[in-house]
Structure 1
C-alpha cells in the first residue's frame, strides 16, 4: 500500500497548530493596535497602546531613571536569569547523578518518578506550602530562634525576591532536568571509558565530553524555563505578596481592568523579547542539527 505524502500526513498537526496557536497570536497582535476603550472592543488601528507602554522610556525621565516598562522587564529578566542559572546547576547535577551513578534501570525509574511526584499537584498548592515554612512565624524562623541563631524573625524569607526565586526554582527544576537526563542517557558510555583511558580527570571528562553532548538537553530545558518564568504571574503574585512587578503580572492586571489592547501590546512585546532570547540560544546551539 502506498504511503500518504509527507505534507498530507502533517496536515492534521498543521491545522491544530494554525487554529490553537497561530490564530490566537495573530488575534492578540491585531488587538494590540485597536483603540483603547473603557467599555467595548472596537476594531481599528492606532499606535497609542505601544506609545503608552513605552511612555518616558526614550526621554531619559527624571534624573535618568528608567521608565516603568523598562523597570518591569529588567525585574522579570533578573528573575529569569537567576532561576535559569540555579535550575541549570540543580537539574544538571540531579540528571548526572541518576544517569551515571545509579546503575540499575529500575532504580533510575524509581528515582526519576520520586523527583516528579511534586508535579502531580497544583502549582498553587506547592507555592502555598512554602508560606508556613518561610513566614514570620513559620517553621524556619521559629527553629532558628529556638536554636538561638537569630533574635528576631527574618523578614525577607517571604514576600520578597528570595521567595519568588525559590518558588520558581521549585516549580521549574524538573523542566530543566528531564531534557538533560534524556541527553545523558543517549551518551555512549565507551566515550567516558576512552576519556578515562586517555588520562582525563573527572572534571575534564565532564566539561569536555558530557557537557558538549548534553547541549541539546540544556538548550531545550533553558527554553522551557525561560518561557515559563517570563510569562508567569501567579508565582510572582503569591510569593511576592502582590508587591513585586513582572511583565506577566502587569498583563494580568491590565486584563483585569479591561485594558485589553494595552495588555495585548504588552504581550506582543513580551513575545518579541522571549523570541530574541530563544534565537540567541539557538545561535549557540543549532537545535535543528542536534535533533
Structure 2
C-alpha cells in the first residue's frame, strides 16, 4: 500500500498559484505605493508622500470645514455599496426563496434558476449599455410617459445619475447574491420546516427563525461578493454616471491614466484596507469557517 504524500506537498501547487497570482501582485502594489512620484518613470524608493497627498486636508487641514476629496469619494462609494447591498439582498433572497421552497420539481427549479442566471452569461458592458435606450432623455420610458401625459418634459434623473448607477449595479450583481443564498436554501432539511409548522409557527416566523439563520453562510458569501465588486468598480460608475459621479475605483482609474501609478497604488491599498475591515465586520456576525 502506497504511503500518502505529506499534506504540505499536496498543498504546494495551490500555494504556488496563490503566491504567483495573488500574493506577489498585492505585495507589488503595496511596494509601489511607497515609491516617489515621477512623471515619466517608475523609480524604486521609499516615501510617504503618496499617502500624505491622498489624505491632504482630511484631518483638520481644510479651511472651509468641508470633507476632503478622498473622504467624499469614499463616502460616495460606501453609499452606493450600502444601497446596492440592501437591494440585492432583498431581491436575491426573495428569488432564491421562491425557487427553493415554492417550486416543487427539481427539474423546474433547475430551469428557473438557469433562466435567472442567463444575464450573467453576457458582458457587463453590454448589459449596462442596454439601459441607455430605456433611460435616456429620448428613451422608451420618457417617451412613453410623455405620450401618456404623465409628464410634461423628460425626466433627467433616469440616466447619468445616482439612480442609473444603482440600477446598473443591482442588475449586474444580484446574481452574485442570489447564487450562494440559493445554495444554502437547498441544503436546508425540509423536516425542520415541517417541525416549525407542527409547533404552530406561521410562515413569517418560520422564515425569520428557521430559514434566515440557516442561510447566514449564503448571505455572508453573497454580501462579500457584492461589496467587493461595487467598492472597486469604475466601469459602471463611468458609463451609467456619465463620467460625472465620483468613486474610489474611478479615481484609481483616472490616476493610472495620468501615469500616477504610486498615488493610484496608495489609493488601492487604502481601498483594500476598507474592504477588509468591512469583511472582518461581516465575519464577526457569522463565523464563516465554522459554517462551511
Determine the C-alpha separation between the residues in 2 that align with 1:81 and 1:111: 28
Divergent runs of 4+, >4 A: none
Give the drift of 1:63. 3.1
Q: Secondary structure at the match of 1:268?
A: helix
Give the drift of 1:148. 1.1
Does structure 2 retain, via aligned residues, the 8 Å contact 1:60–1:66? Answer: no
Give the drift of 1:60. 5.0
Determine the C-alpha separation between the residues in 1 that align with 2:206 and 2:63: 53
TM-score if structure 2 supplies the norm length?
Answer: 0.98
Determine the C-alpha separation between the residues in 1 that align with 2:160 and 2:187: 41
Determine the C-alpha separation between the residues in 1 that align with 2:49 and 2:64: 26
Determine the C-alpha separation between the residues in 2 that align with 1:164 and 1:3: 53
- 3-12 vs 201-210, greater mean Cα deviation: 3-12
Does structure 2 retain, via aligned residues, the 8 Å contact 1:247–1:270? Answer: yes
Q: Secondary structure at the match of 1:33?
A: coil
TM-score if structure 1 supplies the norm length?
Answer: 0.99
Does structure 2 retain, via aligned residues, the 8 Å contact 1:175–1:225? Answer: yes
Determine the C-alpha separation between the residues in 1 that align with 2:149 and 2:98: 36
Determine the C-alpha separation between the residues in 2 that align with 1:283 and 1:37: 42
2:267 counterpart of 1:266: yes
Does structure 2 retain, via aligned residues, the 8 Å contact 1:49–1:261? Answer: yes
Q: Secondary structure at the match of 1:254?
A: helix
Unmatched runs of 5 consecutive residues or more in structure 2: none
Give the drift of 1:120. 1.2
Residue-by-residue CA offset, 1:101-138 (whole Å, 9 max, x unaligned): 01111111111111111111110000000000000000
Determine the C-alpha separation between the residues in 1 that align with 2:118 and 2:235: 21
Determine the C-alpha separation between the residues in 2 that align with 1:238 and 1:4: 52
- 125-134 vs 110-119, greater mean Cα deviation: 110-119
Determine the C-alpha separation between the residues in 1 that align with 2:42 and 2:231: 27
Equivalent position of 2:72 in the other structure: 71
Give the drift of 1:23. 0.3
